């Protein structure tokens, strides 16, 4: 089982939508996929049509995390929620399962894990060991890096990616997150060493609508060596609408732009997992893209002028 964490320093850049669409895309491709919602706000569950209430709160991932952190043996098997029904319309042969979260229990788990310190950072990795041969991928929706739950997620991961938006502060956060990922090995005493996969630009706009800030963000992502993915996720109301309906856009709009972009992004993720960093295709800076667009427009304009003579 390959374990991928979707992480950022702060909330807001689109971790949850990225997580569920990446996971659903893998399942659509025929893989056995487990989503782990490690975020107290429990948004990954909502994005997959699950809200833990009443007696269902006993299915919160937080409870096994708490138990193991306190030295009580635990298991995840009884709390896994099957959401493979979301794949039926696409006749996909994969499976999509969920470890859901709930705010009060996960907040409590956060406090317990913070008090336990680095000695218990391995709890999620340990809990997932019994499923090593039952899933092809696990994808983690993580809280901001300031929480100990983020450390628990990274300590369970084999790979990690981060996100930016067309907002300058998100680049600084992504740089910090990359540094955090690189130090996981030291902070876990060699237990985990997730491979950094790069940063995806979320909520991007077409070139003709770029603001000065978006141009700067695109340039900074390259200059800061964030290894940006070539595929960007465009701002699209169908993605946010899919979240509220509990159906990832990669499934609900598989043949439309959102689904196609997430599918392209997924392929890039898989390619980077299988190749050394020096073999990756990296997105161009905004300046390079603008220069290329201008150069391409000159011959076209010359052809138009020549044909009119």
Q: In this prediction, what percent of the chain has a pLDDT beyond 90?
A: 80
Q: Which residues pair with 199 in a beta bridge?
A: 162, 228
Rounded CA separation 160/278 (Å) = 17
- How many domains does the chain fold into? 1
Task: Give the DSSP H or E segment for 173.
Answer: helix 168-182
Q: What is the pLDDT of residues 230-255, one digit of tens each?
A: 999 999 999 989 988 999 999 999 99
Count other Cβ atoms within 10 Å, centred on residue 211: 10
Give the domain extent around 200: 2-307
**Residue 88 DSSP class:** G
- The label of the residue with tokens 């876990």 reads 188
Nearest-CA neighbor of 144 among 187, 107, 173? 173
71 exposure class (CB count in 10 Å sphere: 0-12, 13-18, 19+): exposed
Nearest-CA neighbor of 214 among 262, 173, 264, 170? 170
Rounded CA separation 69/299 (Å) = 65
| CATH classification at residue 125 | 3.40.50.300
- The label of the residue with tokens 């705010």 reads 103
SS3 82: strand
> Of 82-86, 155-159, 191-195, which gets the smallest average pLDDT?
191-195
pLDDT at res. 306: 46
Q: Whole-structure pTM over 0.95, yes or no?
A: no
Nearest-CA neighbor of 201 among 159, 171, 156, 240? 171
Q: What is the pLDDT of residues 160-197, one digit of tens each?
A: 999 999 998 899 999 999 999 998 988 887 888 999 99
């Amino acid at each position: 089982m390959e374990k991928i964490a979707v992480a950022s320093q702060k909330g807001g850049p689109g971790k949850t939508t990225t997580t569920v669409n990446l996971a659903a895309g893998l399942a659509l491709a025929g893989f056995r996929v487990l989503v782990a919602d490690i975020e107290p706000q429990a948004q990954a569950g909502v994005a997959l049509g699950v809200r833990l209430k009443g007696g269902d709160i006993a299915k919160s991932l937080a409870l096994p995390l708490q138990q193991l952190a306190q030295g009580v043996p635990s298991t995840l098997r009884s709390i896994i929620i099957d959401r493979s029904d979301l794949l039926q319309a696409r006749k996909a042969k994969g499976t999509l399962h969920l470890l859901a979260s709930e705010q009060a229990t996960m907040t409590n788990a956060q406090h317990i894990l913070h008090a336990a310190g680095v000695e218990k950072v391995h709890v999620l990795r340990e809990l997932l060991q019994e499923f090593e041969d039952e899933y092809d991928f696990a994808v983690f929706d993580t809280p901001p890096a300031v929480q100990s739950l983020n450390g628990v997620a990274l300590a369970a991961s084999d790979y990690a990616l981060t996100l930016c938006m067309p907002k300058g502060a998100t680049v600084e956060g992504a740089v910090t997150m990359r540094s955090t990922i690189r130090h996981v090995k030291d902070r876990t005493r060699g237990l985990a060493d997730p491979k950094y996969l790069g940063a995806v630009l979320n909520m991007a706009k077409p070139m003709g609508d770029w603001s000065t800030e978006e141009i700067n963000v695109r340039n900074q992502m390259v200059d800061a060596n964030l290894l940006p993915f070539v595929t960007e996720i465009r701002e699209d109301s169908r993605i946010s609408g899919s979240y509220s309906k509990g159906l990832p856009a990669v499934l609900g709009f598989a043949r439309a732009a959102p689904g196609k972009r997430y599918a392209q992004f997924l392929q890039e993720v898989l390619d980077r997992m299988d190749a050394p960093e020096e073999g990756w295709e990296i997105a161009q800076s905004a300046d390079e893209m603008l220069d290329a667009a201008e150069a391409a427009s000159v011959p076209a304009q010359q052809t138009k002028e020549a044909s009119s003579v």
